[in-house]
Structure 1
């Protein structure tokens, strides 16, 4: 029996599970959803707490911002080598160890008065993050039969969207009421509770036996993998070049309410995750084509009519709906191509590409903002060609990566 079929037909204890269970294992999937939520809070919470952390640690706000940069860099560097090193271990102990690492790092951050110690804790947390993101999609896929994998992955990755839309603002508000240390302590407690939840409701799965392990380069060479990674990079380059600099673009329109614009985007991404969860298992190719086409249309509208507040809000809402589900569609395609048993090795490649796209897109947008005569007005025209190439690539990929159904 292949790894993929074995995973789909056994539960965490190794006993045979029903091939088509009546319901999704929602409590287990929600535990993984909460793991994604916790990871995003851990990564991005300092961005909302710059003034308070700056005063307490005795450093500039820019150096507090480096706590986010350090986390991302550690996650970027650790994802592939650490996942490769751990691929033979049973999955639940690795997941529990990662969550315990989050709890410890957030507790150290909450208690530390030393910038150096805090930065070190953030680097370790980034390593935990790189390991976690490499596991989540494959773990969700192994918990359900093949025909429900897309929906399961959508549920888990919705934790990212909910954290961005509601978790970070809530953490920032809590810090305003009780101090930034309380916010990090709360995330540490959440991670501890989550360890118990995982033990209670998330099944265990075996690692890859040494005799069945495929070298990383062979997985990367599987037909369709490089196509999915290329589209991921193009999408993130275009998205991040525009999203990072929404504040100056919003100011350019005369609307000026960047917080409202970002809230509309975040709320729309929640709708996008829900919509993709409904469609992904039946129409994955057409749903991805529609999402990329909608992002391209939003960029075109922002480029042509972005000075109008009505167009600005409508285009950002459409962009949010489309982008909310696009990463889930791409990660589901990667799991389908590699097989759930090997997804823990394939997914870190996407994590690495995803982080590279975020960094390069933000850099490209900044260069355009500073150098173009049109200033922020040039940003949609920077993003549009990248999204259009991604759309054309999906349209042309009819054999391995995104076959018609």
Structure 2
């Protein structure tokens, strides 16, 4: 089979208002997942629990997403997409409101699981939604615009939310997220067009197993696991690494530079993804692997800074690249298959994030800090190898036999 890139019409334009609404939803869900890390001491003090117990609020969110994304997407395959997305955002609003007013630790955990469930469903819908409302030939760019919410949440949202939490209170941070979610819901109602559910012949037939049976899909999911696992192993423990490199006092600045470079990466990825997905994915894996390998070889200040920049360039576009690869491959079969593929991706993504934190901690405590970047580099190299050999999942940008 021959696969060729579809070129957009010269007069084709993106539905910017709708895509930015979807992108803001991505920003909110990404921010809510990670924001407790910046306000853990305040949450712990307020609820009279330990910082470790407060940290489980991140785990609860990830668990809610990982455990329910696939069954929820399968169960709602015949539902119209816009009401389903609005419903997920409504549940997300209720969950964050409950977090903001929680009287105790058990209620906190319940609210975080509920938020994770809603976010998982929304995440499984958003990339496919962006793809389906984009002009033909601009689907990848549409996903890139939507996914810009991820680096924005990490580089700008988390520091801002942490500052609010420190200065006013962590409950205010979650209350602000609730308010922003309400705005996004109204924005979605006004600006995002409706898209139909799967056709009657597709209802009830597309499951996770069906999506994974598509030739090339398993390879894409393997890259999701290895790449996200490698990134999380080093990202979760970048502060101890920087302390080891005698740059502990610059951790916030290093992460700010990393986040800014991620934005550059996602911009460039969005500009070229519709004609160069395979090339961009290979380049991302190479940059990431070289960067974290450099962390393991030397702690020279100039090298560490340069490696942080390469890391950001490699990682920034990865969410867009992998979601586009899964969406395009699944979309060749049916919209329902594309949605099921996104649900699998969301599940594996969150599972890899959770595993990355655990594995990184084991390496740090059981061996030493240098084992962390070495492991991340090995996972990055494995990702590169899979991309190179998986021509069905990552087909040639100019068409080749699949």
TM > 0.5 fold call: yes
Instruction: Give the alignment partner of residue 321 of structure 1, picking from 290, 313, 331.
Output: 313
Q: What secondary structure is seen at the aligned counterpart in 2 of 1:301?
A: helix
Instruction: Give the alignment partner of residue 54 of structure 1, picking from 32, 41, 44.
Output: 44
Q: Which residue of 2 aligns with 1:3?
A: none
Q: Deviations over 1:299-329 (max 9, x none)?
A: 2221222x11111111011101110101211
Q: Which residue of 2 aligns with 1:11?
A: none
Unaligned runs of 5+ in 2: 1-5
Instruction: Give the alignment partner of residue 115 of structure 2, picking from 125, 143, 147.
Output: 125
- Cα distance between partner residues in 1 of 2:9 and 2:268: 25
Instruction: Give the alignment partner of residue 304 of structure 2, picking from 303, 312, 315.
Output: 312
Please give the TM-score of this superposition, normalised by the length of structure 2: 0.92
Q: In the alignment, is residue 283 of structure 1 matched against residue 276 of structure 2?
A: yes
Runs of at least 4 residues of structure 1 off by over 6 A? none
- Cα distance between partner residues in 2 of 1:276 and 1:308: 30
Structure with greater contact order relative to length (CA < 8 Å, sep ≥ 6): 2
Q: How does 1:345-360 map to 2 (within 5 A)?
A: 345-360=340-355
Q: Once the 2 structures are TM-superposed, how far is the Cα of residue 292 of structure 1 from its aligned partner? A: 0.7
Unaligned runs of 5+ in 1: 1-7, 9-17
Q: How does 1:180-259 map to 2 (within 5 A)?
A: 180-213=170-203, 214-216=205-207, 217-256=209-248, 257-259=250-252
- Cα distance between partner residues in 2 of 1:399 and 1:74: 31
Q: Once the 2 structures are TM-superposed, how far is the Cα of residue 200 of structure 1 from its aligned partner? A: 0.2
Q: Conserved in 2, the CA contact under 8 Å of 1:83 and 1:131?
A: yes
Q: Which residue of 1 aligns with 2:360?
A: 365
Q: Which residue of 1 aligns with 2:35?
A: 45
Q: Which residue of 2 aligns with 1:95?
A: 85
Q: Which residue of 2 aligns with 1:13?
A: none
Q: What secondary structure is seen at the aligned counterpart in 2 of 1:281?
A: helix
Q: In the alignment, is residue 152 of structure 1 matched against residue 145 of structure 2?
A: no
Instruction: Give the alignment partner of residue 300 of structure 1, picking from 293, 305, 326.
Output: 293
- Cα distance between partner residues in 2 of 1:300 and 1:62: 30
Q: Once the 2 structures are TM-superposed, how far is the Cα of residue 19 of structure 1 from its aligned partner? A: 7.8
Q: What secondary structure is seen at the aligned counterpart in 1 of 2:138?
A: helix
Q: In the alignment, is residue 401 of structure 1 matched against residue 391 of structure 2?
A: no
CA RMSD in angstroms, aligned pairs only: 1.7
